[in-house]
Amino acid sequence: MKFHFEFDIKKTQSPIHHGHKLLLIGSCFTESIGEKLRKHKFSTLENPNGILFNPVSVAEAVGAYIANKKISSKDIFEHNETWHSWKHHSRFSGITADECIDKINASTSSAHTYLKHADHLMITLGSAWLYTLTGEAANAEPGTVAANNHKAPANWFQKRLMPAEETIRVLHEMITHLLQFNPHLHIIFTISPVRHLREGVIENNRSKALLIQAVHQLAEKFEQLYYFPAYELVIDDLRDYRFYAEDLVHPNYQATQYVWEKFTEACMLEETRILLKEIAEINLAYQHKPFNPLTEQHQKFLASYHVKTKSLQEKHAYLNFEDELAYFQNGR
**Residue 7: per-residue pLDDT:** 84
Q: Give the rounded percent of residues in the chain with a pLDDT score beyond 90.
A: 79
Euclidean distance between CA atoms 206 and 186, whole angstroms: 28
What burial class does residue 221 get, using C-beta atoms within 10 Å of its C-beta: 0-12 exposed, 13-18 middle, 19+ buried?
exposed
Give the residue-averaged pLDDT of 79-85. 95
**Residue 99: per-residue pLDDT:** 97
Residue 72 confidence (pLDDT) above 80: yes
**Residue 28: per-residue pLDDT:** 83
Residue 165 confidence (pLDDT) above 90: yes
**Residue 81: per-residue pLDDT:** 93
Give the residue-averaged pLDDT of 93-98. 97
Per-residue pLDDT reduced to its tens digit, 314-329 = 999 989 999 999 999 8
Q: Is 42 helix (H, G, I), strand (E, B) or coil?
A: coil
Output DSSP code: residue 71. P
Give the residue-averaged pLDDT of 215-241. 93
Band of residue 198 on the pLDDT scale cut at 50, 70, 90: confident
Per-residue pLDDT reduced to its tens digit, 130-148 = 999 998 887 888 899 999 9
Per-residue pLDDT reduced to its tens digit, 2-48 = 667 788 899 999 999 999 999 999 998 888 899 999 999 999 999 99
Euclidean distance between CA atoms 84 and 79, whole angstroms: 7
Band of residue 78 on the pLDDT scale cut at 50, 70, 90: very high
CATH for 21-268?
Answer: 3.40.50.1110
189, 216 contact by CB (below 8 A): no
Q: Which residues contact 126 (CB under 8 A, 6 or more apart)?
A: 26, 27, 28, 29, 52, 53, 54, 191, 192, 194, 196
Residue 305 confidence (pLDDT) above 80: yes
Comparing 67-71, 196-200, 234-238, 278-282, the range with the smallest average pLDDT is 196-200
Band of residue 97 on the pLDDT scale cut at 50, 70, 90: very high
CA atoms 205, 210, 214, 217: torsion sign: positive
Residue 178 confidence (pLDDT) above 90: yes
Give the residue-averaged pLDDT of 249-276. 93
Residue 241 confidence (pLDDT) above 80: no
**Residue 2: per-residue pLDDT:** 67
Band of residue 332 on the pLDDT scale cut at 50, 70, 90: low
Residue 189 confidence (pLDDT) above 80: yes
Segments making up each domain of the chain, as ranges? 21-268, 270-332
Q: Give the rounded percent of residues in the chain with a pLDDT score beyond 70.
A: 98
Of 247, 223, 209, which Cα lies nearest the Cα of 128? 209
Of 78, 74, 70, which Cα lies nearest the Cα of 95? 78
Q: Report the chain's mean pLDDT, rounded to a whole number.
A: 93
Band of residue 298 on the pLDDT scale cut at 50, 70, 90: confident
